[in-house]
Amino acid sequence: MERVAELHRKTKETDITLCLNLDGAGLITQDYPIGFMTHMLRTFAKHGLFDLDIRARGDLEVDQHHLVEDTGIVLGQCFCRALGDKRGIRRAGSCLYPMDETLARAAVDISGRAFLVFNGDLSGVPLLAEAAVSPPPGASPEGYFSGAFQTGTIEDFWHGFAGACGCALHLDILRGRSDHHKIEALFKAAARALRQACEIDPRGAGAIPSTKGILGESPAPGVVV
């Protein structure tokens, strides 16, 4: 059975369409107006071996918070939907990921109970972009962001993800200097932990991995608005 989900979420602040394949090859197609987040989403897909197709716009004239947080929400909703009743999955996963001077740790339990612990140890200083994000051929340049990335939105992203996915997610930086490395190492660690948690356990005999016999409620099919 294919574990695929597609959602369109449109509000007065953001418009996001995302398609997720849990059993992919790490391929990504994106039309996303924040350069640093395109890098993080590409990293997440590659290390989790998730296929992603994402198209997004947001009110970047306000700031980046709405779009980054809502991206986490839609991604989490797609995980929840693609997992269905979570029958046969490993459920929990973890990863300790080194990236040069940085060491990141991620642990996840797809329990149906949402909780985030985020210790990113970020400085709060924006990451400066040297050039604008170039829109794809044929696309309007309107809405593409050039300038600093607001690192504080990373916690908002993961908060939105954990809430929508229905998972307990712990993200910690154990050591590090560069905010870029800290954020990227967290995305890599989270992707690998989620990949492990979402994998089908051949010894699980197709059972739901819980003594309760249920792991949260599966969302109803359809478009989320």
Residue 149 β-bridge partners: 127
Spatial CB neighbours of 186, under 8 Å, sequence gap ≥ 6: 104, 106, 120, 154, 158, 171, 173
Q: Establish if 50 belongs to a structural domain.
A: yes
At residue 174, φ and ψ (nearest 5 deg) are: -85, -30
Total residues found in the chain within this entry: 225
Amino acid at 76: G
Query: Residue 150 has what pLDDT?
Result: 95
Residue 103 β-bridge partners: 98, 175
Query: Residue 213 has what pLDDT?
Result: 77
Question: How many domains does one find in the chain?
Answer: 1
Distance between CA atoms of 23 and 3, rounded to whole angstroms? 7
CA angle 38, 128, 191 (to 5 degrees): 35
Q: Specify the pTM.
A: 0.89
Q: Establish if 118 belongs to a structural domain.
A: yes
Q: Establish if 205 belongs to a structural domain.
A: no
CATH number of the domain bearing residue 20: 3.30.230.40
Could you tell me if residue 112 is left (phi over 0), alpha (psi between -120 and 50 degrees) or otherwise beta? left
Q: Establish if 223 belongs to a structural domain.
A: no
CA angle 116, 118, 122 (to 5 degrees): 155
Cα–Cα distances in angstroms (integers) from residue 200 to residues 44, 89, 104, 187, 209, in the given order: 20, 4, 25, 22, 11
Query: Residue 160 has what pLDDT?
Result: 98
Tokens describing residue 10: 């449109």
Tokens describing residue 144: 């593409």
End-to-end CA distance of the chain: 27
Q: Establish if 31 belongs to a structural domain.
A: yes
186 lies in which domain range?
Answer: 4-198
For the chain, 225 residues long, give each residue's pLDDT as a single digit of tens: 799 999 999 999 999 999 999 999 999 999 999 999 999 999 999 999 999 999 999 999 999 999 999 999 999 999 999 999 999 999 999 999 999 999 999 999 999 999 999 999 999 999 976 544 555 555 555 555 556 899 999 999 999 999 999 999 999 999 999 999 999 999 999 999 999 999 999 998 888 888 787 887 544 333 332
Query: Residue 223 has what pLDDT?
Result: 34
Strands (E), 120-167: none
Q: Establish if 224 belongs to a structural domain.
A: no
Q: Establish if 214 belongs to a structural domain.
A: no
Query: Residue 41 has what pLDDT?
Result: 98
Distance between CA atoms of 170 and 111, rounded to whole angstroms? 13
